[in-house]
Amino acid sequence: MFIDYVRGVIVISMIPPDQASIIGLDLGTYGFHRGTEGDTNICKTDNVVELVNQVKGYFDYNKHPYSFSESIEVIIDEHNENVSAFNEFKLEADKIKNGDVNNEELSDFQSFLSTLPRILRDHQLKSAFHLYRVGNGANFSVPGAGKTSVALSVYGKLRDEGKVNKLFVVGPTSCFYPWLDEFRLMLGRDPVHFILSGKLQETRKLCYELPNNVELFLVSYQTLLNDVNMVKEMFNRSKNDFYFVMDEAHYIKRQDAAWANAVLQITNGAKNRCVLTGTPMPHSYRDLYNIFDAIWPDNPPIDSNTRMRIEALISQNNDVGVQNILNETVGPLFYRVRKRDLGLGLQEFHPPIIVEMNMHERMIYDTIVKQIRDFARNEFSREGVVWDRMKRGGITRLRQATSYPRLLETAITDFDSNIDISNSEVAGSIKGYDELEKPGKLVKLIEMVQGLQSEKKKVVIWTHFIGTLKMIEKELQILGFNVKCIYGDIPNEEIEGLESREQIRKQFIDPRSGIDILIANPGACAEAISLHKTCHNAIYYDLGYNCAQYLQSLDRIHRIGGSENVTCNYYTLQYAHSFEQRIIDNLEDKRNRMFALIEQDYPVYSLDITQGNDSFELELFDEIFEME
């Protein structure tokens, strides 16, 4: 049989007639189909080498004789040369990662860094030099390690050398203003920039078509998905002027996700590429596939054969085997600074502060527990998704009751409709709660805030419920405290006179602003917002189940550039004789396991960066209500 490559098409001819049927069927699994001649199979493909290797493997396994055309021989030889060169490159990258560097090159890099306003710390210098030398790499350092500063220093060096002159950053909207701040602090100038997310499509189109004066582009993953064709055209016109950065890259880790596909469509048009994320593998080793495809689109380090080996080892729970493969294929291409490398001060996790419920909230809580228990017994025969939703609704009601009883007036979408609180014996107490008493947690919180204020210490207060956030804000304002809030309804950018999240953050961290109290919702403020320069105290008024989000909130006040010589204090309020201790224990167990994981090179988290733990809610319900 003869394998040829003609005008973008692989053609297999001279198939023996007596075997044509079975071979044709087998080759069909690789995408081949019969051509105009009975003995010919053809296939159009973008990855010639991969497909030829698959066919070669099939023929070798079945001991079918075959030969290649000269055109395919040339393609295979070029591919093998590229692979050999890439392997040599990775050997050099691995030496740099392990400190075996060319002193002259390092000295030149340090000379450039010495011209910048900000001095990089030792761990940042090492990771920056590695990223500079590999050209296209990843920084998987833990949150708070200064990854943005590292990427900006490399961009500055490449721009100084005339290799790039524009910076394109795709990430969550919460990272935009930190990038602007870090750009000014790191490179000492105010860049001409454009935040494309939130702008009308015509405005974005104009910026893409006339980007000459814009140096820094800031785009969300959703906006990139909408504008992928316009960005591709801009990159193609730019003649490789762009340094492309994927920030908080866990957003593109899911295979076949739309955001990941949008990124993969454009990265080839950038001169240099960089990935930043402190959580490289939230679910599985597979999460690295998209990341390294994006960094090296023309020569993916984890090719299809390697993925098959990884998949086989994953199915066998062979972590050591997978990590050995990753060390060989992508280990040299990323740098990871661990928490212990940062030289930060202590994190003091104080024991939960136990608070007694006041009379009416205890009565409300006990009534809710009784009503849910009675309902659970009556509905115990229910099975499946409906019953699970009802369980989750019951746990949500308990969380509301221990946060702020007035929250029980609100409906819960999709579940809990059969738990009719409005007709319960405490319905009047819930509706008129604010006139009856103040929550026990609130009383304790005010006492703690007063103590911190007397010592001139800033504090961030975390709560998961917007109604609770607004209640705390109102009570503190009545007492004369200057307080600001960040939650979902606060815009990322100033709109019609409304303060943006970044404006509020800047006021809070300013030691002279008089704003010493920030109330925040973890969903809106746990990621990419830094409070550590002036705040070293956090109070958790209530807790959820999302451990990754919880860890991110801890890091808001514990980062380089402000946390080196201070102790960060974390306090949690907990009601006595309630289910809250179970949530605290669950989070603490996850936190300890996650802290152990993030010290590893390949930390596979079993906790999603955006999702909660639904199974825990169901387990908690069964435990509280003694379901069998």
Query: Which of 334, 314, 315 has its CA nearest to residue 323?
Result: 314
C-beta of residue 604 within 8 angstroms of C-beta of residue 285: yes
Q: What is the Cα–Cα distance from 36 to 38, expressed in whole angstroms?
A: 7
C-beta of residue 401 within 8 angstroms of C-beta of residue 580: no
Whole-angstrom distance between the N-terminal and C-terminal Cα of the chain? Answer: 65
Strand residues in 113-250 grouped as ranges (E) = 137-139, 166-170, 193-195, 216-219, 242-246
Query: Which of 100, 104, 159 has its CA nearest to residue 130?
Result: 100
- What single DSSP character describes residue 47? -
- List, in order, residues 6 or more apart from 223 with CB less than 8 Å away: 196, 197, 204
Q: What is the Cα–Cα distance from 277 to 144, expressed in whole angstroms?
A: 11
In the sheet where 216-219 sits, what is the strand order? 193-195, 216-219, 166-170, 242-246, 272-276, 137-139, 334-335
Neighbours of 578 (CB within 10 A): 20
Q: What is the Cα–Cα distance from 383 to 404, expressed in whole angstroms?
A: 31
Residues in the chain: 628
Q: What is the Cα–Cα distance from 433 to 516, expressed in whole angstroms?
A: 29
Taking CA 379 as the corner, what is the angle to CA 376 and CA 385, rounded to the nearest 5 degrees?
95
Its pTM stands at 0.79
- List, in order, residues 6 or more apart from 83 with CB less than 8 Å away: 299
Helices within 330-358 (DSSP H only): none
Render 179-213 in DSSP notation, one character per residue. Answer: HHHHHHHHHSS---EEE-TTS-HHHHHHHHHS-TT
Strand partners, 573: 353
> Quick one: pLDDT at residue 628?
37
Q: What are phi and psi of 214, to 5 degrees?
A: -95, 125
- List, in order, residues 6 or more apart from 222 with CB less than 8 Å away: 197, 259
Helices within 15-102 (DSSP H only): 20-28, 48-61, 70-97
Tell me the C-alpha to C-alpha distance, in Å, between residue 60 and each of 42, 64, 189, 539: 19, 6, 61, 65
C-beta of residue 153 within 8 angstroms of C-beta of residue 183: no
Q: Two tokens at 113?
A: 């860094």
> Quick one: pLDDT at residue 421?
64
**Mean pLDDT in each 10-residue stretch from start to end of the chain (628 residues)?**
86 87 86 70 78 87 91 87 87 91 94 95 94 94 91 97 96 90 95 91 90 90 94 88 91 70 91 88 79 88 88 89 90 90 92 96 91 72 66 86 92 57 78 95 98 96 96 97 93 78 92 95 79 95 83 90 92 94 84 71 50 62 64
Q: What is the Cα–Cα distance from 249 to 273, expressed in whole angstroms?
A: 12
Query: Which of 231, 228, 263, 226 has its CA nearest to residue 247?
Result: 263
> Quick one: pLDDT at residue 282?
63
Q: Are strands 41-44 and 33-34 parallel, antiparallel or unpaired?
A: antiparallel
> Quick one: pLDDT at residue 606?
44
Tokens 């801890």 correspond to: 554
Q: What is the Cα–Cα distance from 424 to 153, expressed in whole angstroms?
A: 62
